[in-house]
Chain A
Amino acid sequence: MGTYCGYSAVALSQMLQLAPRAPAPAPAPAGGADGGSSSGSGSEVLITFEKNAKAAEVSARILAAAGLTDCVTTHVCEAGSGAALHAGTIRPGSVGLLFLDHEKTAYPADLCAWMESGLLAPRCVVLADNIHFQDCPHEAYLSLVRDPARGFASSSFYASLIEYTTHSEDVSDLAHPLHIRDGMELSVLA
């Protein structure tokens, strides 16, 4: 959710090419900067959502430059509406990965929309970026995914640094100023 210029879509597309080629349909890794689904054919597909048409045009050029045009489908729409958009085209329970990197205030509602759609697979992995942007925790989202009663088996925080702000790569360095610290939350559905 949140294709923007396609940077993470390029990375995820490459990663998904490494997925095991299961002979039988199974919950398939997919998703994106973005959301994802299985085509039902045993191969993985990456579906992304971007509400800004100009950004979507740029992402199309970036993906073309990367030779990945055929690997990624981008919808120009609100990320949360993506579940309804695909209600009839994606096999229920087949989305193995949901990646959230769009409007931060929309994370909880959009995740709930996907959860309620029935499209997410058991043990679906939900990865959300910018959960501690500038060291400020996204409390509304964390209270959702860290509540077992909401259907999550586990949820963990992974520290990182805000992109393109420092030459350092040491995320454990507490000397980093708060404004360059960030992180992702990885949650797994029950």
Chain B
Amino acid sequence: MFGSDNECDPQEDLEMSVLRGVYTRALGVAYEPISSPEKEALLANRPESFMVFKEGTELALALFVERHAKDSPFPRADMVQRAIDVFCYSRHWMMHMGDLKVRHMVSILILHVLGVPFTPSIFATLTPVPTRNERLILPPSSAAHRERGCGTGQSQQLRYAAGPGAGVCGDGHLLRLQRRGTVPDASTGT
């Protein structure tokens, strides 16, 4: 019903490829969203399931998440979201917010609830799945990146991604937020 866990299953190989991509990039201290080509590939073999509700889907999801998220070197919450997204693109449509809409939600709420003026770069800092036009920000080699403990397990509250957007917003913007007390210091927890 939800795809095979057989290691020879092409769809599972694809799922693992997408998930392993996170691992590899995480170890390289960079996070990339699931790309459009990856989504397209996952969707290509998904059984038609939009607005189809089957008994057991939620339990299958929980098992999938637990299997793929438990040993992640990446922050667990990020990996859980990633695993849910992969399941839903690959095996069965579900009515979670999804990777795209949750980004929109977070960006909206950052402004209206946290009171942080929204810019794509701030958004990308705070969300684990920036789009190609919104990704950020701190190059892995930057001083601020190192100081904030990225890739060392100390930076659970902030997400960083090296990418084309790195030139749009440098360390200065993030540090300004920190001075205003908006973004907690990941290295000290304050």
Contact = CB atoms under 8 A, between A and B. Distances in A.
B168 interface: no
Given A10-B80, A58-B59, A62-B84, A127 B97 contact: no
A160 B98 CA distance: 11
Most buried by B among A55, A61, A66, A182: A66
Contacts of B77: 10, 13-14, 66-68
Contact of A127 (B37, B61, B108, B131): B108
Contacts of B39: 166-167
Contacts of B106: 11, 15
B20 interface: no
A89 interface: no
Contacts, number: 157
B61 A11 contact: no
B27 interface: no
A90 B49 CA distance: 40
Interface stretch (A18-26, A78-86, A106-114, A139-147): A18-26
B114 A15 contact: yes
A96 interface: yes
Interface in A143-180: 158, 160-169, 171, 179
15 contacts: A4-B96, A11-B81, A14-B128, A17-B157, A18-B110, A20-B115, A21-B184, A61-B62, A66-B69, A97-B109, A125-B109, A158-B104, A168-B36, A169-B100, A184-B108
